[in-house]
Amino acid sequence: MLAKRIVPCLDIKDGRTVKGVNFVDLRDAGDPVELGAAYSEKGADEIVFLDITATHEKRKTLAALAKNIAKNLNIPFTVGGGISSIQDVDVCLMNGADKVSINSAAVRNPALVDELALQFGNQCIVIAIDAKLVDGEWIVYVSGGRTPTKRRLFEFAKEVESRGAGEILFTSMDHDGTKAGFAVDALAQLSDTVNIPIIASGGAGNMEHFAEVFTKGKADAGLAASIFHFGEIEIPDLKQYLREQSIEIR
């Protein structure tokens, strides 16, 4: 079994880190490059940077962001936000990102996953899936969680795996920012559905939630934002706690 990973996530809007609840009510959490460097020093295993700003200059923004982060970080990092083409991915990887996160574009055009995996390799293609429980079914949403689709979480995850995704980042929109715990039942089912690593996102509020997501939820990595940004949990303390729970951690 692979060692579990702790992954801080930085949502970036207009060059600043922001955090909300259920994808709304954003508040400022600091400079993303400074935060990333601090997390690297504290023992984060990887970091995810998601640019949630809608902009016509998206490619230039992502290139500058990746380049700036790469200069200040010594751990793997993923960049995402509005990535929808081979050119977008190329720019991010050329400027130092280790992986890219594809969300809405993969839902709208699943064949893009095949193209990216073929061009760049499975290992750097992360498919981010935002989903919400609606009438007993996990429905996939796009456009930053604003638009429901006809896609279902588990069948879509299976499809992107078959097309060459190297990893899935699943965010439960119902749990996002609530600090009430991860969607462990859905995560466990997702883990049983696919054979690629799963990053759990949405709901981390305390150390016990991470222990639960790695055991009951069968996740390979635990992602969180506000509890790290606002100093509620320190990564070294979290890793020590998980080791005490006999959970193998990086």
173 within domain boundaries: yes
Q: Number of folded domains in the chain?
A: 1
* Parent domain of 125: 5-244
134 within domain boundaries: yes
User: Choosing from 51, 88, 98, 130, which is the catalytic residue?
Assistant: 130
User: Choosing from 11, 45, 51, 98, which is the catalytic residue?
Assistant: 11
Confidence of residue 28 (pLDDT cuts 50, 70, 90): confident
Average pLDDT of the chain, as a whole number: 93
152 within domain boundaries: yes
pLDDT at 24: 64
Entry pTM? 0.94
Phi-psi region of 248 (alpha: psi -120 to 50; beta: other; left: phi over 0): beta
- Tell me, yes or no, if 98 is annotated catalytic: no
19 within domain boundaries: yes
**Residue 61 identity:** T
The tokens 């290139």 sit on which residue?
Answer: 63
**What secondary structure does DSSP assign to 107-153, as a single string?**
HH-THHHHHHHHHH-GGGEEEEEEEEEETTEEEEEETTTTEEEEEEH
**Residue 196 identity:** I
Phi-psi region of 139 (alpha: psi -120 to 50; beta: other; left: phi over 0): beta
Q: Which of 28-32, 117-121, 160-164, 217-221 is the least confident region? A: 28-32
pLDDT at 34: 92
- Tell me, yes or no, if 11 is annotated catalytic: yes
The tokens 């490059």 sit on which residue?
Answer: 33
pLDDT at 55 over 60: no
Residue closest to 71 by CA, chosen among 42, 118, 36, 46: 36
pLDDT at 151: 97
pLDDT at 51: 85
pLDDT at 226: 86
- Residues 73 and 97 sit within 8 Å (Cβ to Cβ): no
Structure tokens at 82: 């509005």
250 within domain boundaries: no
pLDDT at 214 over 80: yes
| Mean pLDDT value across residues 99-109 | 96
Cite the beta strand spans of the chain per DSSP E: 5-13, 16-21, 24-30, 47-51, 77-80, 99-102, 125-134, 137-142, 147-152, 167-172, 198-201, 221-224
Residue closest to 64 by CA, chosen among 48, 45, 51: 51
Cα angle 230, 234, 239 (rounded to 5 degrees) comes to 145
CA atoms within 13 A on the CB side of 41: 7
**Torsion sign, CA atoms 86, 89, 93, 94:** positive
43 within domain boundaries: yes
86 within domain boundaries: yes
Instruction: Kindly report the CATH number assigned to the domain that includes residue 206.
Output: 3.20.20.70
249 within domain boundaries: no
